[in-house]
Structure 1
Amino acid sequence: MNTADLGLPVDVPSTALFTDHYELTMLRAALEAGSAERRSVFEVFTRRLPEGRRYGVVAGTGRVLDAVENFRFDGRVLAFLRERRVVDDKTLQWLAGYRFTGDIWGYPEGEVYFPGSPVMRVEGSFGECVLLETLILSILNHDSAVAAAASRMSSAAGGRPLIEMGARRTHELAAVAAARAAYVGGFTTTSDLAAGFRYDIPTVGTSAHAFTLLHDTERGAFQAQVESLGRDTTLLVDTYDVAEAVRIAVEVAGPGLGAVRIDSGDLLVIAHRVRHQLDELGATETKIVVTSDLDEYAIASLRAAPVDAYGVGTQLVTGSGHPTCSMVYKLVARAESADPGAPLMPVAKKSMGGKTSIGGRKWAARRLDEQGVAQTEVIGTGPVPDDLADRQLLVRLVRDGQVVAREPLDAARDRHTAARAGLPLSATQLSRGEPVLPTEYV
C-alpha cells in the first residue's frame, strides 16, 4: 500500500498503522465505557540501562514529532481496520477525525538519561494518547540504542572522525534512522544517501573491493578511480597485498593521495606499517581509514595506532550488542472522571518481577556538584526544590497538538557533546559498570 492510496502526499506517509492491534481494542472498549476522554498522563522511561552501560542517550525525538503529526486514519487505513474487524463503526468514526491535541514534554534530543528518567511525557485524553504507545517506543528504543553505541564509539575515537556505514546490515528504513541517531551520538558522516537526503548529514564513499577486482590490475583500478575522483580520493589497499598496493597507490596518485583504507587483518599492526611506508614514500599527509566490524572496544584499542578515521557498520546499527533500550510507555496519572476539570490522580502498575512503576506526573532535574559536574538524576512528583528549579530537564515539545520544539539535527548533536562532557569521567569508561549517576526520587 503506498501513501497515495491513503489520500496523503507521497512525501508525508501516514504513521497510523505503526501501532499494535490492542491499542485500538483498548480505545474501542474505553469509548464504549465512556472513559476514553479522561485526561491522562503517559511517561516513557526505562527501569534499567542495558547491562554494563553507564548512561543512555535520547535520540529520535525529532522523528517522534514528525510521526505524531502524521498520525492520521484515512482512506484505505480505515477500510483495512473495517475489513479486519479490528474495531466497530463507532470507533472508526472516532479514528477518522483523529488528531493529537494534547501536550508532549521530553528530554531534548541528545540529552543523556538514566534509569527512571521520564524521557518523554504525553498528556491528553486516554484515547488520543494510548494510540501513540507503539509508535513512540519503536522510534525511541531504536534510535536511542544506536545513539548510545555511537556515543561510546565517539568517546573511544578521541576526536577522530567516524563514518556510519551500516546500511547493508539492517532494514533499509532502519538504516536511515540509524544514520541520523549515529550523527546525534557523534559520528561525522554516513555512507547512506537516503540519510543524507532526508537529514542533511554529510555523505562519503569511494569504492569497494569489487571495483578493484573488476579491473585487470590493481594499478588500473587505482588509475581509474583517481582520474574520476581526483587525487584526494581514498584508495582501498587490502584487496591483494597491502604493501604493494600502498606503493602503487602513491605512484598513481602522488604524495598528495587523500587516504588509504584498510578493511581486514590485524588493523593495529597494519596501520603502523602503512603509516611508516606512506611516510617513506613522501605521502606524509595521506590519511589512514580503517573499517572491518569495528565496535567501541576495537576503536579504543586502535587509539595508539596512526589511524585517522574509522568506518563502522554492523555493531553501530545493532546498538553494539544492545539493539533496544527497553523503554516502556506507562500510564502514570489519570483524571478521576471525564469532566475536563477533574483532578488527576496518580496510578501505577504494582507487580512482581521488577516491573513496578511509580505513579504521578513527574519532573526531572540533574543535581551538580561544586565543580559543575553532574551528580544525581533527581525525579519527583511534588514541588520542584528551589535549588533544582533551573536544572530541570523536560522541555515542551508539543502544545495543544502543535509541535513547538523543532530544531536542526546539529543542535541535538551539540547538546549530546555538552551533556556527555558534563558527566563524571567514569561515564566514558568502556569497562562494565553501574549507571554513572544514581537516580533519586523525591
Structure 2
Amino acid sequence: MSYIHKTISDLKNTSPAQAEFYQAVEEVLDSLAPILESNKLYQQQAIIQRLVEPERQIMFRVTWVDDNGNIKVNKGYRIEFNSALGPYKGGLRFHPSVNASIIKFLGFEQIFKNALTGLPIGGGKGGSNFDPKGKSDGEIMRFCQSFMTELYRHIGPTTDVPAGDIGVGAREIGYMFGQYKRITGRYEGVLTGKSLLWGGSLARKEATGYGVVYFAENMLAVKKDTLENKTCLVSGSGNVAIYAMEKLYQLGAKPITCSDSTGTIYHETGIDLTLIKELKEQTRTGLNAYLETHKDARFIPIDQYPEDGHAVWRLKADAAFPCATQNELTVTDAQALIANGCTIISEGANMPSTQEAINTFVDAKISYGPSKAANAGGVATSQLEMAQNSSMQTWSFEKVDQRLKEIMKNIFETAHQAAEEFGQPGNLVLGANIAGFKRVADAMLEQGVV
C-alpha cells in the first residue's frame, strides 16, 4: 500500500463515517504524489499525517429559547485545522446539514485555499446545525449569543478569526460580535464580515463572487480569450452567485441561470440581477416569484431535476460557475456541460463538483478552476479586513477590489506554474494542491514537530 493510501486508510479508521472529509482529503492527496516523490523529507517528517489531523477539534452544545419559550438544543463546532502560516481563518456555517464531517472537509480545504492567497493565515472552519430560515430576528439573536458564549474562549484576533458562510451574514456576525464584546470587554477584529458601521471592509460581501470571475478571467487570458459575450450558467442565489453575476455583467458576459433550494431560473436574455437581489436580499422569497415579473423566463422546480444531476448544468452555455453547495455537479452534469460546448468552469462554492466530475473536466483538458483556488477571494478579503482593523484604517472599495484582483491573479499564476513544473500544464487541480501544500508543509518543517 502506498504512503498516501495508507494515510487515507488510517484516517478512515480514526475518523469513521466522515464521507465529505474523506472526499476532500483524497482529492488533495492524490495530487501530491509528484511532490512527495521529489522530496522524501515530507514523508520522513510525517507532514501528511500531521496535515490531515486537526490541531484542535471543538464540539459544544448550544441551548437557546425560541419565541414560544421552548428550549432548543443544537450542536456547535470549531475545527482549528492548521496554524503553520498564521491564525486560523475560516467561516461559520449555520445549516441543518452541518456535521463533523462537513466542517472537517471545509476546514481541510481552507488550509490550502488560505495558503494559496499568499497571506499569513492558517485554516479552520466552524458552524452549527441550526437553521436560520424561518426564525425571527430574536430567535437568531438568542442562538448567536448562546453560540458565542461557548466559542469566545477559543478565538481571538491573533489566534482564530471566524467569518461568515452559508446561513451566516452580517446580521449573525453582528449578534455574535456583540456577545463577544459583552463577555470579554474588548473591541477587536475577532470576526470578519462585519458591518461597515463597526469595522467591516468595503467589497467583502462581493469578494467571493468577484474573485471567482477574476479567476475565470485569468484562465481565459492564457488562451488569449475573454469573458466578453459569453453565456454563463450560475448556480445558487446567495452572495457568491449574486456578485459573480454582477461581475460577469461588468465584464460583458451574460449569466442566464441561478438557483435555490426550490429550483432553477433560466432566462435566455439574461438574469435580471436587480430582481434577484430584491428577492434574496430583501423579501427573501423563492425564485419562482421571478416569473411574476419575467413571463419569458422558465422555472425548473427541484422535483423536475434529472435523477443523476441538476437542471442548471443541462443547459447550453460557454461557461459554468457552481456557486451553491458541495457536490452539486455530478459526473453526468459534467458530461452534459462538455457536450453542450462549455469550455470553462470556475467554482464559487466549496467542493461543488464530485470527484468523478473533476476527473471528467481534467481529462477533457478544459479550463477548470477548483474551488480552493477560484473561490479564495472571500477569505483573502477577510484578511484585508483584519489588516484594516489592526491598523484602524478604512480602505476604499476600489483599493480592496484592486487588491482582490491582484490576489486572484497571483493564485492563478501560482497554480498554473506548479502544474507546469510537475509536468501537467493546465491541470489547476494538481497545481493548486501542490502549491498550497508546499507553502504549508515547508512552514511546518521550519517550525519543528509541533
* TM-score, scaled relative to structure 1: 0.28
- Decide which structure has greater helix share: 2
Which structure has the greater CA radius of gyration?
Answer: 1
* TM-score, scaled relative to structure 2: 0.28
Greater RCO structure (CA 8 Å; 6+ sep):
1
